[in-house]
Chain A
Amino acid sequence: MGLIDILSGKKEIIEKKWFDMIAASYPVNASSFLKNQKEQFANPVGNTIGEAVHTVIDVLIHEGTNEKANTCLDKLVKVRAVQDFAPSMAVDFLYMLKQLLKDELKNEFHTGGVYEEFLLIESRIDTMALFSFESYLKYKEKIYELKVNEFKNMAFRLLERANLTFEFKDEGPAFEKSVLERDTVK
């Protein structure tokens, strides 16, 4: 039996254990809520974790493309980027999966070819972890961009309302023509 068959047989238990490990990165009351509340609008974070867990395992077992997994990973990282995590903690859930797979497969590694197959899966998880890191940074940058935008919008509006700014208005074809002519003269 190859690695994929073994993983397919353990799919449900791996998904559950991985979900629980991610949920355990939250405070106690929160982790039980994340696990027990199944309704998607009442528990959007738990739902996002569940979707990512299911999709990543599915992609690894069925050798799907990473793109499918990346969409869900991006969603999960987007959530963790605004939660109370240090950067390493925010993206460490894929390293949890590596450890989990090692624990689950330790008795199978001696079977011919399983360990080599595992190494291939492990590097795919590493690639996903790198992708998650990029997403994390993207969303952290977005947070700072939003802060700056709010500030700039307010300041600009006030200047405009106080008649302290003057903006050229696009006055239609004639205006554009005159600009073109001016540029031609140059």
Chain B
Amino acid sequence: MSKCPHCGGEIQFSVEKQKVHCNYCGADFDASELVQDTKKAKKVEDLSQKETLSGKSYLCSQCGATLLSFDETAVTFCSYCGSQNVLEDKLVVQTAPDFIIPFSKTQEECIANYKEAITNAWFCPNYMKSDLVVNRFRGIYMPYELYNLHFSGDCVNKGEKYADFKDDFIYYDQYDLHSEVDSTCNGISFDLLSKYYDEYSQSIPFDYKEAKPFNSNYLPGFYADCKDLDESVYDEKAIKIAENISRRHLMHNPVYMNYNCQDPKVPYQITERKTGLCPVYFTAIRDKDNKHLHYAIINGQTGKVCADLPVDFKKYLLFSILFAIPLFFFVNSLGIIFPSIINGFALFAAIAGTAIFLKQLIKCNEKEKRDKDIGYYSHKKDEKTSKEKTEKTKQAKGIIFLANFGIISMLILTGVLVISGKAFIKLYGLTGFHYVASFVMVVLLLWFFLFNFFANIKGRVQPDFQIFDNSFLVKIIPSVIIPTIIVILNPISDYYYYISSVISLSLILLSFYDLVKLQNKLASRPIPQLEKRGGDEHE
């Protein structure tokens, strides 16, 4: 680490001035000039000698995360789990990365952006923008990898066209579609930390045009994390991203559509991989029950905020009640509030609530297992785990398909009933057709619920994945079954419809508490329990 060439004091990078500043004599220096001067002072003959990255590492005794500090500032709490049990570990010296993007937004600017984001999230609890939370933001350099990809040459894709129909066979002619392509995709980046969620790093992209050659003078005043992933982990994904972008360009040419080539690709090659450090302001906020965390990350270059935003149920309740007032007048003015319509609406709302809950539950499960986090799984290096992961992902997708199929079937059936002209307006005038349709509707519903219920019991989905939360189950199933029974029985007295609707809608309203609870679970992370990295850190 460089010292002040004037007074030999400790220097820090000043974000406001974008220069290295000496706290003792107040001098400012350009970071790159300081490196040259320092090397000259040391009489280093080869000025292109690669720098090293050295700092004091601090180890969190709770989650095992390490943080590098480059000045005398001690680390008093862990950024990843919020624990205050952080111990000074050892001096770490690493090969320096290729580039660095220095902080260009001050902590105050980023915190202001964060507070604005919290304010815009209407249902977010106020403690998320309290001083206790915002004072814990820490500027950390995260290790990233930057990919440059290129392809130049003859790009060949397969296509086919209908040719003939003969002897009960359909014949297709197959073609190779050749095109001279020169395509470059630079700047695809991924974080090289297994514990850093991929969705965060993808939510706050950096502008790599402002990247500078690595210079350790940008580090004092901030912290850094060490990479723990192999540099080739994201190769496939980088190529896939480039292919997705290039596909849109290839498809501009109608020849590909004419020859049924739905998925043309450019076979990119990775021309360059660079590792670097990118600036983020990072904090972890513990939940009230102390079992989960909310992360908030701010891009130190652009100021973009990415945060787990929980929902304050009281705010949500108040907003919903106020919003219900104009809706009440609107509903009243429609003039179609017949008892049968209310009953049908209760049924529809119950199905909609169930579909939302199921989708959220699956998302929650995927998030907790980190199925789509390539870095996390590659770090585990466990073949069985990766096979399990693929299997679980397929099952989760299967359940999503069933949930969608159930709700779509319901909507189609409802549409069929309405077309016949007797459902929404005059359900009491049911014909035989409607009894059959209602019966099929009930069978579909029961199948939808029972399949998932038995799937859970037989462990066809992973054993610890509960498809239905019990409290939600207790509320939503009666709210579906009761109106459906009334539709089929078609009682003469309207009071049956009113009673059924009131019971069903009351249960649905209560079930929204479970939905919000689940949304909060989705917006939080389990407290990391990371493996301690041991061994020689010298590279």
A, B co-complexed: no
Please report B residues at the A interface, Cβ cutoff 8 Å.
none
